[in-house]
Every structure is written in C-alpha cells, then in structure tokens.
Structure 1
C-alpha cells in the first residue's frame, strides 16, 4: 500500500488494548499482597507461595517468543482473542480454587494467556495507526502496563479487605471479556506468513529447563541442597538449557538469537536489566509478609505502604532520560545499581522495632535505584544492536528479564525460607505444630495464636526480619558487583544515529509484567 488510511475506530481499539494490558500489568503485584492471606486460608508453605507466584512467570517467560510467532503466522487478532480467553479461563479457575494445587495450575494457565497477549498487543498497533501517531499509541500502551505496578497492591488490598482472596482473580474476568469483545469488533486481522515457524523442541526445552531450575531452587530449603531430587532437578535444568543454547546456535532462524549476546553493550545492559528484575521480583515477594504479619497492617494498608518504592520508580522514570542524555548510559546504569545497592544495605538494617518510617525511607531509595538502572539499561541494550536486529533483541531482552524475575522469586524466597526456619525458636511445641510454624511467618503466627504463645509470635517476627535482612544483603552485593563491569565496560553514550524510543517503549510494556 502506498498510503495508510487510519481506522476511525482506532482509539476505541487502543482503549480496549490498554484495559487488557492494565489487567496484565497489575496481575503479578496484586498476588503478592494476597499471598499472606492465601497462606493463612489455604495453609500454604513459603515454597507453595513461591510456586503461586512463579508458575505464572515461568510459563510466561517460556512461551512469550513462540506466542509472538504464532500471532505472526495464524493472525494477531485471533491469537490475542485466544490469549485473553485463556487468561480469563485461568482467572476463573483461580477464583474458584479451593487448594494450593488449583491456584498454581490457574496461575500457569494465566501465564499462557499473558504470553500470547503481551507481544501481540503491540504488534497490532502498526495496522491501526499511521507512523506519526504510532509512537503515542505505543507510549500509552506501555504506560498502562507500567501503571499496573503501583495499582496492583492497592486494588488487591481493597478487594481483600472487602471480599475473599479469590476476588484478586475474579477482577480479571470483566477486563479480559472487554478486551475480547474489542478485539473481535474493532481490530483488523494481520499476519506475517514469512515469519519463522514455532520451534516446538526449543519451546519444550525452555519450559522444562526453567521449570526444573525453579523447582530445584524452591525445594532446596526444605529437602536440602544435597537431596537427590533437588540435585536431579538442577542437573536436569543445566542439561536442558545447555541443549537449548546449542540447538538455537545451529538453526538458521533461531527463536532465541544468542548471537545478539556477542554485542558487548547489549550483553552487559541485558545483564543489568535482568538483575534489576531479579531483585524487584524477590523484594515484592518478601515485603508483603513483613508488612502484614510483622507490622500488622491489613491488605489495603500493605498495598499503600508499597507506594514509596513505586514513587521512587516513577520519579526515576521521569529523570533517567535526562541523566542519560547528559552523562551517558554508563553513568546512569552504574549510578542506578550503586543506589540500589545502598538501598538494599540500608534495608538490611531493619529490625522488628524499626517501624514503617524506616522502611518507607529505604523503599523510596530502592525505587530510585530501580528506575535509574532499568530504563537506561533497556534503552542502551537495544541501542547497541544494528537497527534490523532491534526486534529480535527486544524479544530476547524481555525473555531474559522474565527469567531473572522467576529466579529472583525462587532463589531469594528460598533463602528467606531457609533462614526463617533456622532462626525460629519452636521449643516446647508438639512436633507437628513446630513443623507447621516453620512453613512461613503467617503459619507461625497462626500456631502462636492457637497455642497462646507470645514468645513464638515474637520469635517468628525476629526470624522473618533477620531472613529479610539476609535477602537484602544478597541483593545489595549482587547490585554492587554488577555495577563494577557496568562502570568498566559499558559504552559511555548512546550512538547519535540511533532512535531507540519506539522499540524500547515496546519492551518497556513488558517490563511491568514483573
């Protein structure tokens, strides 16, 4: 076509896409606030809570790239409708679930739907908007997902204060239904028959390898790192992921183009962005139980008390581009990682008597560090690639950051669980009650209430805060260690011949998934 005729209904279609992306955007953070309540009602251990969070992220990371290819080949509107339908079905199953296994299964199904929707929501925009409007449309869609981060805990907290925990799943149903109706009525069908076919073997290797890795990490605190099942899962993960890399290097049109990692700027910025998601996901997993079980706030209060971190993130998102333009990406990413490390070290000094004021302080600094490290790292990662590799680079960047988020929940959650169990004093309790109390801080408080032991509740609070401090120390060390190669090896400034805003914003849309 020589001319582009904009669809008169395009802004209505965009509104529906925004509603869908907003729903996906706050879905992960809404669950973090609900986990302590679900742990109490379902008797979920820390490991089971990790699976409730990670089932979604692992499936999402494994299926995002093949999902995009399915849309290219069979129709983006069709796959969007299918993805929203799967997400809706998973949300219904989650709302009606009466056990931990059903919740984990529902989260995995929702991950399948989200993997279809996330890349395709942006890929349909070129068929709706002329080039002069497209950047604005991408920005609005990206902002909808980013807005989900602070909205998730608040919406989740309000729902939990007024309804049962299944309401955090049920809220997705009308939003997904609206998205389906809008896609059917307003979106034109587009496809790209020349796109690569979906590599079923690579997809299976990705899903099973990531699943085995996360399983081994989550099970290790309870079973021990030397347990045959844990060792088998971790060994299997190494074998499967190695096979994936070798296969992707051999095929002519790889789904995960590992040759992109040969670009130093892309590799180092991707590592930095992945680490930030590792820390962010782990932190959002360990913070709500501290705010609810230790400090005694309700679900809505917990959501509101996470806002200082989101506020810092929003401030950084406004100022990071100017900082990068003036001092270069290397300075911005390095400064962000150093600020993140400082915030984590400060947070590790939290005690049971610190109160929320101290927590709000280091949460605000944490948000600033996230924003200053993440946004320039994403920009610079894609800026380091040739223009014709930006699409595949964006896909690889999103996938690796999702993997970072999954491993963050698994590894930092497992570190917390092991430390909590080791520090908890359960002397004088029956063996079964002592074992239950060691499952999580929420379980320990329930046991303490049942047996009337103030000492157990105090010990649980102390053990949890100590475990959270250990997690934050690990986060701080990881951020500081990452800042050193960033300062030494990252390019100093963006290349002037590049205009990375559109692809970066597209990638930024997926950023709020974690």
Structure 2
C-alpha cells in the first residue's frame, strides 16, 4: 500500500512538474516577444503591421485552437495532445531561431501558437485528472504561480539574451525549456481520456475556429487598412456566419464541443469574466509598456525587462495568497477587490509623464500586479469546477480560449485605440504647424479609405517607432511627439481602469459574496457542479 501511495505521489509530482515547465514557456514566449520585436525589426526589416504580427500571429493561433485542442485531448488522450503540443512548440521555436525574414517569423509564430494551444489544453486537463479536492486546488494555484514566473522573468531573460547573443537566442531558450518538459512528461504522465467521448465534433471545431480566427484578423487589420475596406467587411460577415453555424451545430450535436446550456448559469459566466478582466488591466501592459520603455523613453532592452519585473513579480506570491484568503472570504469578493486595486494602479500609472524617474513608474506597476494577482490565483482552479471531472478538457478549453482569445482581441483593440488617440491629438498640431497638402494623403493597401501621414505616424508612434513617426511629420519635434504619446497613454489607462472597474462589479454579481465564513476554492470546486442548479435564474 505504501509503495502504491509513493508511486502515485511520484507520478503526480512528475505530471505537475512537466505541465508547470510548459506553463512557464507560454507566457515567457508572449512577454519576451514584445521585448524582442524591436530587435527583430532592426535585423529583418518590416513595417508596423508585419512587426505587430510577431505577437498577433501567436495569439491568434493560440486562442483560435484552444477549444479544439481541449476537445481532442478528451477524445484522443490528454498525454498525447500535451506531448504533441510541446513538441510542435519546441520545433517551431528552433525554426524561428533560423528564420531568414519577417514573413517567416510571422508564419512560424502562428504555428508556434498552435503547439501552445495543444500543450496548454492537454496539460491542464491532465492535471485536473491527476489531482482531486484540495490537492487539485494547490496544483492549479502552482500553475498560476508558474505563469507568473514566465510573465515576470520573460522580459528580463529576453533583454539579457538579446544584448548578449541577439534576438534569435530568445527562441532557442524556449525550445530548450520545451525539451525539458518533454523529458519530464514522457515517462511519467499517464494517459487519460473522456470515457464518454464517442467522436470528435469536427463541424463545431471548424466553425468555431473560423469564427474566432476571422473576427480577430478583421480587428487586427482594420486599423491599418481602414474599417471601410471591403476585406474587413467580408471577414466580419464570414465570421458572423461561422458563429451562427457553430451555435446551430452545437445545439443539434449529441456530444458538442461546447455545452451552450452552461451559459445559463451565473457561476460559469462569472468564471469567464475573470480572464477577460485581467486582459485589460494586466496582459496588454506586458506589450505596450516595453514598447513605451524601449521605443519612446529609450531604455535598453535589458533595463526595460528589469522594469517589467515590478508589474509581474507579484504573480509569484499573490496566487498563493489568494487561495489562503478564501478561508476568510469568497473567491468572488477576493477577485473583485483585486480588480479594483488594479484599476487604481492604472489610474496612477497613467499620470506618470514620459521621462519620469523609474521609481515613479515601478510603484503603480507593482500595485497593478498585486491587484491582478488575486483573481489570477483563483481563476484556473475555478475553471475546472464548472463541468464534471471527465469533461475537464472542455472546461479548460473554454476557459483558456476565453483567456487567450480575449488577450489577442484586447491587445488589438488597445493598440488601435492608442494609435487613434495619438492621431486625434496630433491632427490640430500638425494643421497649425504645416497643413498637409493633398498629395500627402496615402491610399490604404487594396484601395481602402485614404490614410494621411498623421494616421501612419500615429500608428508608428503606438508601436514605439519614434524616428519613423518623426520622418513622416518633419515639422513636429521629438519632444512634442513624446508628449502627445504620453497624453494618449494617460487617456488610454483611464479607459482600461473603467473597463476593469466594470469587470469587478460584474464579477461580484456573477460569483457573489459567497460564504463569509471562508469556504475555500477547493470546496467551491467540489460543489460547483451542483451549485449551478441553484445559481441559474
């Protein structure tokens, strides 16, 4: 009996270690990519759109494929999908280190995102099968902390590798970590499947992936070619049609990829709100802050990475603290308070001018990280409580899709909003200094709405290309461009804070105050399936 218990504990530790190593890679790849983008641009060239796709291609493929990966994990085996995903991710990382041009980088980043989706969906589902009760809560809390490690040290690792060895070393490092995860998982991770899975919902998978993918591409491309461009309208129309088809397919499928009836329950909806909220108060900052530090304020990549620790380091401790706090308050209340703290940090950060001392930036960044860390530590554990254990692949697929797709869409919308605010503030300045001649109007690719030099300069400024913006607007000084960027950033953080406050109120509404005596997340997870019947209204 003792040998059996020891073997089970050893196997569980191996599974947890393998999934956590993979979980370090995914946010590391995301956050490190933002630091590496300027260096890639200098080495391989490419305009703002091509450089944006270094991050966007990864996030688009990642988010679009997660739901399908969760379904495949339930049907064909969580171990198999996890190992395939990590293998693809590692292989694409090595190929990225050898990429000869920016187009290859974008394409390989998309393929890397597919591997990441399989790794996360398969690994999370395997973790849910391996642990029960409070052990499962601790495992998912550690998973959240591991994500925090990747977020905290990804920029630092990327900055150091870029300065020492060049940007290609960033992708070599993720390939090596992927290989480590494979070595840990291959011998010890057991194979598990959904015993009731009778087939794969291929039509549902195809329609959902098409809907999400096409909609995201439309959002990403619209700021560059114009919302009135025929391609944008076509993409949105096909995406809407694919979504309608998905809903119809899922309603008439015996074993659907997504059980739509879950949306009738408050608890299920509330859990999905948490990753959406953290997108706007935290994740978008992982991209736009390094751009500001390196491109606008002139910090070296390593220094920018070190500054980002202030934002991400709280993720190392706050998830575990959040679980402890559930002894005294409900997860809904803790998550809502955390989001309100993050919103206050956003308002504080927005008031810091460009060129201020680093300490003026680091303190509000730390406040944002502390606030975001509270819901971050609870939402992974809560996500597996919304469906029966054998459908863990679907649960993690839904939650992870909401998280990653939300991140991609939030990043696209926030980047477009920042460029739009910059353009609006520059327009009267440029008109007063040197009115644009008609010949300065540029046509968007494919014959879309006319784009002025102001629009293009604003887009370059939003991506940290200060010199490129100055070239397009020679009458505007660098100091003035920095100031208008700072003003736009200030307004943007106010908008992000407002979204975060609304998300905090909605989270409290859907997840509720709960048991004031301190029901733990483990108890919440164990009772959530039956509690949803009482929660439905």
TM-score by length of 2: 0.81
Structure 1 partner of 2:490: 469
Structure 1 partner of 2:60: 58
Task: Find the aligned partners of 1:255 and 1:354 in 2 and give their Cα distance.
Answer: 50
Structure 2 partner of 1:484: 505
Contact 1:40 1:443 in 2 (8 A): no
Aligned partner of residue 326 in structure 1, secondary structure:
coil
Task: Find the aligned partners of 2:125 and 2:271 in 1 and give their Cα distance.
Answer: 24
Moved more, 380-389 or 398-407: 380-389
Contact 1:342 1:476 in 2 (8 A): yes
Structure 1 partner of 2:87: 85
Moved more, 432-441 or 466-475: 432-441
Aligned partner of residue 34 in structure 1, secondary structure:
helix
Change (3 A) 1:45 1:218: farther
Task: Find the aligned partners of 1:125 and 1:496 in 2 and give their Cα distance.
Answer: 29
Structure 2 partner of 1:440: 460
Shift of the alpha carbon at 1:240?
1.9
Aligned pair partner of 2:203 in 178, 201, 208: 201
Structure 2 partner of 1:509: none
1:269-288 CA distances to partner (integer Å, 9 max, x unpaired)? 42243222244232222111
Change (3 A) 1:396 1:187: closer
Moved more, 225-234 or 101-110: 225-234
Aligned residues: 504
Shift of the alpha carbon at 1:140?
4.7
Structure 2 partner of 1:19: 21
Contact 1:340 1:365 in 2 (8 A): yes
Matches within 5 A, 1:200-219: 200-219=202-221
Structure 2 partner of 1:460: 481
Moved more, 453-462 or 353-362: 453-462
1:446-466 CA distances to partner (integer Å, 9 max, x unpaired)? 447989979543233223323
Contact 1:25 1:144 in 2 (8 A): no
Contact 1:52 1:103 in 2 (8 A): yes
Moved more, 119-128 or 68-77: 119-128
Change (3 A) 1:190 1:312: closer
Matches within 5 A, 1:2-401: 6=7, 10=11, 11=13, 15-124=17-126, 140-192=142-194, 194-376=196-378, 392-401=394-403
1:156-187 CA distances to partner (integer Å, 9 max, x unpaired)? 11111112222221212222233334444444
Task: Find the aligned partners of 2:524 and 2:324 in 1 and give their Cα distance.
Answer: 19
Task: Find the aligned partners of 1:232 and 1:336 in 2 and give their Cα distance.
Answer: 40
Change (3 A) 1:14 1:241: same
Gap regions ≥5 residues in structure 2: 443-451, 527-537
Structure 2 partner of 1:415: 417
Aligned partner of residue 96 in structure 1, secondary structure:
coil
Gap regions ≥5 residues in structure 1: 506-514
Task: Find the aligned partners of 2:134 and 2:338 in 1 and give their Cα distance.
Answer: 33
Contact 1:312 1:371 in 2 (8 A): yes
Change (3 A) 1:291 1:317: same
Contact 2:297 2:355 in 1 (8 A): no
Shift of the alpha carbon at 1:388?
7.5
Change (3 A) 1:34 1:324: same
1:183-206 CA distances to partner (integer Å, 9 max, x unpaired)? 444444444554253222222222
Shift of the alpha carbon at 1:142?
4.8
Moved more, 114-123 or 374-383: 374-383
Task: Find the aligned partners of 2:465 and 2:108 in 1 and give their Cα distance.
Answer: 27
Contact 2:222 2:232 in 1 (8 A): yes
Change (3 A) 1:134 1:351: closer
Task: Find the aligned partners of 1:486 and 1:139 in 2 and give their Cα distance.
Answer: 20
Contact 2:14 2:189 in 1 (8 A): no
Task: Find the aligned partners of 2:389 and 2:421 in 1 and give their Cα distance.
Answer: 47
Shift of the alpha carbon at 1:207?
2.1
Shift of the alpha carbon at 1:290?
0.7
Task: Find the aligned partners of 2:386 and 2:76 in 1 and give their Cα distance.
Answer: 32
Task: Find the aligned partners of 1:353 and 1:51 in 2 and give their Cα distance.
Answer: 28
Change (3 A) 1:312 1:381: same
Moved more, 314-323 or 249-258: 314-323
TM-score by length of 1: 0.84
Contact 1:260 1:266 in 2 (8 A): yes
Aligned partner of residue 113 in structure 2, secondary structure:
helix
Contact 1:69 1:197 in 2 (8 A): no
Shift of the alpha carbon at 1:387?
7.3
Change (3 A) 1:496 1:234: farther
Shift of the alpha carbon at 1:438?
4.6
Q: Root-mean-square deviation (CA), in Å?
A: 3.8
